[in-house]
A and B are shown apart, each in its own frame.
Chain A
Amino acid sequence: MAASKGQMASQSLNEKTSQSKTWHQVVLQTLKRNEIRLVPYVPDRVLTTLIKEIHADPYFISFPTAREEEAVGIVSGAWMGGMRGAVLMQTSGFATLANVLASLAIPYQIPLIMFVSERGTLGEFNYGQSLVCRTMRPVLDSLAMEHHTATRLDEFEFIVDRSIKQAITTQAPVALILSPLLTGGKVFDK
């Protein structure tokens, strides 16, 4: 299947350049290095290992929320109270956030850090997911939000680390979109 081939191609590319760190280890270590302890999330298949590893590490306070918007409220409150946070979600979850981005994170200048596992492209099997994915970048662009799509492991740590630092120093939200090229994504035969 085309999707599986693509996944294999991206995995071999990543293996060559990674010095044995996986993308989820990069996320975990970079969060720690930037003192981001609070990690609420709405789960996603691709994020499963990352979520497990974060739960297993006592440095983090991590828990599921009922909605992505709720997680954004929690990390916003925590930031104002002096604790740094990041939210993990899937593309369809990001699609529920336009209101909270426009009425809380951006106008209050809160450095909201979001990791969005990208569904809806490069082998998507659910039409609804591919449609909702198309709303994500237009929403980010319409709010002039910083966002990056991570596709390669060799660039990933740089993107994550610099984006976190920029969000905090400029007090502006950032979305880090985790492409299937980086993560392998979710495919029909999984």
Chain B
Amino acid sequence: MNKPESAPARNTKVMNRFDLTSRLVAKLKNEEAVVGGIGNTNFDLWAAGHRPQNFYMLGSMGLAFPIALGVALAQPKRRVFALEGDGSLLMQLGCLSTIATLKPNNLTMIVMDNGIYQITGAQPTPAAALSDIVAIAIGCGVTNSAWAADEEDFDRLVEQSLTAPGPTLIGVRIDDKPGTGATRRDPVQIRERFMLGLGVREAL
């Protein structure tokens, strides 16, 4: 078990990161931007099938939401998704207050919560036992935040976020499986192709 005995009872199903990421990517028909956080969130985004509008972080733990916020501010007509781990978000909780204050209505944040630093050996995060990330987000002012009860509920929350008047945060409980793929670690290409995908640049 990932969670210590004291973990509060949840009515949310434990899902799988790659499965949820694949579900999300399959829905994307409008060149939506997707920012994958450090490690497993971007490995699974890569494995779900590379798209020109995907950005993969190779460091800077905790910055998936701030990077996505920047994209959302620069391109207010484009939907921007960000995939972040619970441990990563804990490094940069302050960004939730910034995002709540700026209220970008084209930003959907997804937190993959397994309560562990899976990639470093599955050590529990300091939040694993007691903290509720969705409650934290609501407390920060991201009022449109919810746990997904199961895969269908996840799909529904993603759909809802598209027309929400402000930013959305969706918490999903996931298992302790590692990421499925391995992103090609070529930061310049990742950035350049993302900019091409967002229509900011033309290919040489």
A74 to B72, CA, bound (A): 9
Best-surrounded residue of B35, B95, B188, B200 (most CB of chain A within 10 A):
B95
Instruction: Kindly state the interface size class of chain B when it binds its partner.
Output: 35 or more
| B73 in complex: contacting residue of A83, A100, A109, CB < 8 Å | A83
CB distance from A110 to the nearest CB of B (A): 7
Within 8 Å of chain B (Cβ to Cβ): is A131? no
Structural contact, A70 and B63, CB atoms closer than 8 A: yes
Answer yes or no: A103 CB below 8 A from chain B CBs. Answer: yes
Q: Which residues of B contact A104 (CB under 8 A)?
A: 57, 59-60, 63
Question: Are B92 and A67 within 8 A (Cβ)?
Answer: yes
User: When the two chains form their complex, are residues B73 and A110 in contact, meaning their CB atoms are under 8 A apart?
Assistant: no
B67 at interface, CB cutoff 8 A: yes
A residues in contact with B2, CB < 8 Å: none
Complex partner residue of B70 from A78, A103, A107, A109, CB under 8 angstroms = A78
A69 touches B74 (CB 8 A): no
* B95:A80 contact, CB within 8 angstroms: no
Which one of A63, A66, A71 contacts B102 once the chains associate, using CB atoms below 8 Å?
A63
CB-CB under 8 A from A72, the residues of chain B are 63, 66
Most A-side CB within 10 Å, residue of B65, B74, B191: B74
For chain A, the bracket of interface size reads: 20 to 34
Do B60 and A80 touch (CB < 8 A)? no
Binary A-proximity of B166-196 (CB < 8 A = 1, otherwise 0): 0000000000000000000001101100110
Interface residues in A66-94 (C-beta closer than 8 Å to B): 66-67, 69-83, 85
- Do residues B187 and A83 form an inter-chain contact, with CB atoms below 8 A? no
Cross-chain contact of B59 among A38, A79, A99 (Cβ < 8 A): A99
Q: Find chain A residues with CB under 8 A from B8 CB.
A: none
Q: Does A65 contact B (CB under 8 A)?
A: yes
Given contacts A66-B95, A108-B190, contact A82 B74 (CB under 8 A): yes
B63 — which chain A residues lie within 8 A by C-beta? 69-70, 72-73, 76, 100, 104
Check B59–A80 contact: CB distance below 8 A: no
Of all chain A residues, which has the CB nearest B189? A108
Q: How far is the CB of B81 from chain A (nearest CB, A)?
A: 13
- Judge if B133 is at the interface, Cβ distance under 8 Å: no
Identify the B interface with A (CB < 8 A).
Answer: 33, 35, 55, 57-63, 65-75, 78, 92-95, 97-98, 101-102, 187-188, 190-191, 194-195, 198-200
Could you list 10 examples of A-B contacts with CB < 8 Å? A38-B74, A66-B97, A71-B66, A74-B70, A75-B70, A81-B198, A99-B60, A100-B59, A104-B63, A108-B191
Q: Which residues of A are in contact with B by a Cβ distance under 8 Å?
A: 38, 40, 61, 63-67, 69-83, 85, 99-100, 102-104, 107-110
